[in-house]
A and B are shown apart, each in its own frame.
Chain A
């Protein structure tokens, strides 16, 4: 009986859907992200749905908060991490999530992103990376590849792109993961892992923009090739990939190479074993740059997770400490502090 009550009380995906009409282009990868978030949230938020806040900047992806039946704030271009910081610091009890695009987070919002990472504020940031500007109709973005032809780069983009995972690593984000819009199960797992992480969590989601950059991730998101080209990172597991799981990643010095474990002289023991909780960011950094070289797989999963005091905790701790030393603030005393004199 009691068990039943509990199950009844549990939220369903529907509880997280707002009454607003979703208005992305048909086929947009954003739909999958919305669906996976709504499906994962009943496991993340078991009660007090009102404690959830979604914050976004501007872009197609940033329409996200409207579609969630939680508290939400659709703000201005690039500033979601800073607004979210204010929300979380003001009320650490809230569960604060950021939905953002590659232009939003890494171009105009780059500064706020790296600083939110380094401060380890307990925010969950979902980067919808479609390697293009969607809302402004198809200009290249800071994650677009060199040579990309777009409306503002008719002769090919000459900008070197950002690598979002290595930017997050370099800025000391304490949780860094990547997932893909065509793999719902994987995305749900990653979202829940991010929710469980105490501290700043960054998820890069490969998201297909069907209108301006269709197929950008086909070489690893399409079912026919994804086993060949995706490397699923799993803690404590050797980094094997390929349809037959016969290819493995090996490190020669600091250089990763791909070996076939069934070939003579090779064995699964030569293959790197993933350690999400490694204190050192070095291997994660190597993994994040893996696909810079041809014929290398694209890693998805959790790159790294480490634990440190969060910024919002530190704020609360410091206030508590100062109160202990100085005593609870007294306005009258403070007004009359220092050297005063009387006039009669």
Chain B
């Protein structure tokens, strides 16, 4: 423990902290969380976030199902997950406490807004007695703070209504947390000033509440210690904090610029994919055309039309929407037009858990169509990796004249992390050569990759017809010839197989052969990575590999799988990747599955690895 000369209090150094803000959906917890994240990013910590909000927009006040949470893990080391269990819980009401307390680490810190612990709220949270007064918080370090009344007091004389004043209480809580973790206020101050430019009273109230919270930490006898987390040693560069959905949108925009193809997005809003449509519709000055269609089917078919007309065409959705797009995906396969289909996976089946994360659409993506309809499937592994994979999806679609499915998920989409921004000139070009020469032209001629020519309507002399009916090889005329169909089915499959020559090999982190390989795909990358690190820190040898390309798999997949005695495959589904690996490679995989609507817990994976290694934790 060191003594901060400016403060009477002790400062304790920590390497990492996980904080969870929880409150009513109207309490502004997502805002509080994202402000804390932005400031934390700006002071140079590595971080990862997990917003967790109810499906109801404004559930009745004080109810358990109306609790909104935001978890943030920050560190002076490299980190990869939003953290399993929080060290600190900020609970704005009894329901928030009730819902989150079981997740809190033993001995963790609880900061509660005591003002909201009245009979009514306790009842709504199904508390028999007041947890602040009975023994239920024993074993935690709890700090009761009358956040609402302190906020009201700090804003005395404000012209705002009582309701508006109390709404500032999240900034009080934020200020207090800034004090506790030694973070500067400047970021949030300038954010408030900008956000409430035209609402001076509100700006003033929020600023006062923020500072009051900070000062409260300093003055009150309640806290003896404050904490400090040093900067992380990240690779040099310029950073910004980015969410998966924003990264996806930027990746597509970059692909449009680098291919010189105009971008067209046909989409229908659905959680958690809507942001991509929203972000792209702000990029109009790049010539981006966003079409909010009447439904998912129109979303994808309009994109197919745009692709036919020569645009880099996309459609974005989540599980139920992907189901609706199925028939049109087959059309894109048959017409061999480039198209990117993004599925931001959420809890299913049906409308399932609309605001939660899951990885259970893998089999649907790989196999879910009528007929032999192979579509490349790739998956982003972290929020910022969504940028790379959106770019990759576009590149593959255009090069191989094929629809491509890009899988992300609710956690990646809404979660954020620091992103080392690439300079525009570091991103490779992939110019497209449209066919313009009518000499020897046939719509289903193929190049060395087996891709057919992309020919824009409007090109003189190349008039031709395409469609969903089977094509005669080369001429593209409708053909029901049995031998031709067999040939075309194989050609379309071979074309997709050829993509394996164009993607990176699967790399193994750690020993290249040995006892245990932990193998995942998509958004579980961070949880697996951290679990593997923990196990290694205990002196074990364990390797990790992660799929970003799933159909086709990287060329060396079989080779890698053969080198390990045990292959652990953690997934947020009931073993979908496992199933594919078993059928394609006859690999001896051990599945680890938890389908809770949340990222996998590092500790759970860790336990499983240790079990495989024959050690009890």
B287 touches A334 (CB 8 A): no
State the Cβ distance, B168 to closest chain A Cβ, in Å: 22
A319 touches B421 (CB 8 A): no
State the Cβ distance, A135 to closest chain B Cβ, in Å: 12
Residues of A contacting B504 with CB < 8 Å? none
Chain B 105-123, CB-CB to A under 8 Å as 1, else 0, gives 0000000000000000000
Chain B 510-541, CB-CB to A under 8 Å as 1, else 0, gives 00000000000000000000000000000000
Task: Give A115 to B266 CA distance when docked, in angstroms.
Answer: 14
B238 touches A342 (CB 8 A): yes
Partner of A74, one of B237, B285, B301, B465: B465
Q: Give residues 471-503 of B contacting A (CB, 8 Å).
A: 477-478
Name A114's closest neighbour in chain B (CB-CB): B294
Task: Give A85 to B465 CA distance when docked, in angstroms.
Answer: 18
Residues of B contacting A336 with CB < 8 Å? 238, 240, 421
Interface size of A by CB at 8 A reads 58
Binds B, one of A45-53, A177-185, A207-215: A45-53
Partner of A51, one of B257, B297, B457, B468: B457
A3 within 8 A of B: no
Q: Give residues 295-344 of A contacting B (CB, 8 Å).
A: 315, 318-319, 322-323, 325-329, 331-332, 334-336, 338-344
Task: Give A71 to B461 CA distance when docked, in angstroms.
Answer: 10
Task: Give A58 to B469 CA distance when docked, in angstroms.
Answer: 10
Q: Give residues 309-365 of B contacting A (CB, 8 Å).
A: 309-311, 313, 327-328, 330-331, 335
Q: Give residues 75-103 of A contacting B (CB, 8 Å).
A: 75-76, 79, 82-91, 93-94
Task: Give A48 to B464 CA distance when docked, in angstroms.
Answer: 15
Name B240's closest neighbour in chain A (CB-CB): A340
B44 within 8 A of A: yes
Residues of A contacting B335 with CB < 8 Å? 73
B285 touches A83 (CB 8 A): no
Known: A65-B465, A73-B465, A332-B424. A90 touches B254 (CB 8 A): no
Known: A51-B458, A86-B302, A87-B305. A344 touches B236 (CB 8 A): yes
A343 touches B301 (CB 8 A): no
Task: Give A73 to B466 CA distance when docked, in angstroms.
Answer: 5
Residues of A contacting B478 with CB < 8 Å? 66
Task: Give A93 to B311 CA distance when docked, in angstroms.
Answer: 14
Residues of A contacting B457 with CB < 8 Å? 50-51, 53, 71, 87, 91, 94
State the Cβ distance, B248 to closest chain A Cβ, in Å: 14
Task: Give A326 to B288 CA distance when docked, in angstroms.
Answer: 14
State the Cβ distance, B263 to closest chain A Cβ, in Å: 10
B187 within 8 A of A: yes
A342 touches B264 (CB 8 A): no
Task: Give A160 to B327 CA distance when docked, in angstroms.
Answer: 29
State the Cβ distance, A117 to closest chain B Cβ, in Å: 11
B422 touches A86 (CB 8 A): no
State the Cβ distance, A7 to closest chain B Cβ, in Å: 21
A72 within 8 A of B: yes
A72 touches B421 (CB 8 A): no
B284 touches A76 (CB 8 A): no
B375 within 8 A of A: no
Residues of B contacting A91 with CB < 8 Å? 309-310, 456-458
A288 within 8 A of B: no
Q: Give residues 234-277 of B contacting A (CB, 8 Å).
A: 234-241, 250, 253-254, 257, 262, 264, 266
Name A93's closest neighbour in chain B (CB-CB): B458
Residues of A contacting B283 with CB < 8 Å? 329, 334
A111 within 8 A of B: yes
A90 touches B42 (CB 8 A): no
Residues of B contacting A331 with CB < 8 Å? 253-254, 257, 286, 424, 427
Task: Give A343 to B462 CA distance when docked, in angstroms.
Answer: 53
Residues of A contacting B313 with CB < 8 Å? 86, 90
B158 within 8 A of A: no
B interface, by DSSP: helix, strand, loop or mixed?
mixed
A90 touches B463 (CB 8 A): no
State the Cβ distance, B171 to closest chain A Cβ, in Å: 18
B262 touches A90 (CB 8 A): yes
Known: A89-B264, A90-B262, A329-B285. A73 touches B467 (CB 8 A): yes
Chain A 11-32, CB-CB to B under 8 Å as 1, else 0, gives 0000000101000000000000
B460 touches A75 (CB 8 A): no
B266 touches A86 (CB 8 A): yes
Name A108's closest neighbour in chain B (CB-CB): B297
Known: A82-B301, A334-B250, A340-B239. A90 touches B289 (CB 8 A): yes
Residues of A contacting B304 with CB < 8 Å? 75, 83, 86
Name B337's closest neighbour in chain A (CB-CB): A73
Task: Give A86 to B311 CA distance when docked, in angstroms.
Answer: 10
A55 within 8 A of B: yes
Residues of A contacting B250 with CB < 8 Å? 334-335
A229 within 8 A of B: no
A166 within 8 A of B: no
B464 touches A71 (CB 8 A): yes
B306 within 8 A of A: yes
Known: A94-B458, A115-B298, A343-B234. A85 touches B469 (CB 8 A): no
Name A81's closest neighbour in chain B (CB-CB): B298
B7 within 8 A of A: no
Task: Give A325 to B282 CA distance when docked, in angstroms.
Answer: 13
Residues of B contacting A341 with CB < 8 Å? 41-42, 44, 238-240
B236 touches A343 (CB 8 A): yes
A90 touches B310 (CB 8 A): yes
Residues of A contacting B42 with CB < 8 Å? 339, 341
Task: Report B's interface with A, CB cutoff 8 A.
Answer: 38, 41-42, 44, 187, 234-241, 250, 253-254, 257, 262, 264, 266, 283-287, 289, 291, 293-295, 297-298, 301-311, 313, 327-328, 330-331, 335, 420-425, 427, 456-469, 477-478
Task: Report A's interface with B, CB cutoff 8 A.
Answer: 18, 20, 48-51, 53, 55, 58, 65-66, 68-76, 79, 82-91, 93-94, 111-112, 115, 315, 318-319, 322-323, 325-329, 331-332, 334-336, 338-344
Can you list 27 A-B contacts with CB-CB less than 8 angstroms, sorted by A residue number? A20-B465, A53-B457, A69-B463, A71-B465, A76-B328, A76-B468, A82-B293, A82-B305, A85-B298, A86-B305, A86-B313, A87-B305, A88-B305, A89-B289, A90-B264, A91-B309, A111-B298, A326-B284, A329-B283, A329-B286, A332-B424, A339-B187, A339-B240, A340-B421, A343-B234, A343-B235, A343-B238
Instruction: Please list the 10 inter-chain residue pairs (A to B) with the smallest Cβ-Cβ separation, ordered nearest first.
Output: A86-B305, A74-B467, A329-B286, A86-B302, A72-B465, A71-B457, A90-B309, A90-B306, A322-B284, A82-B298
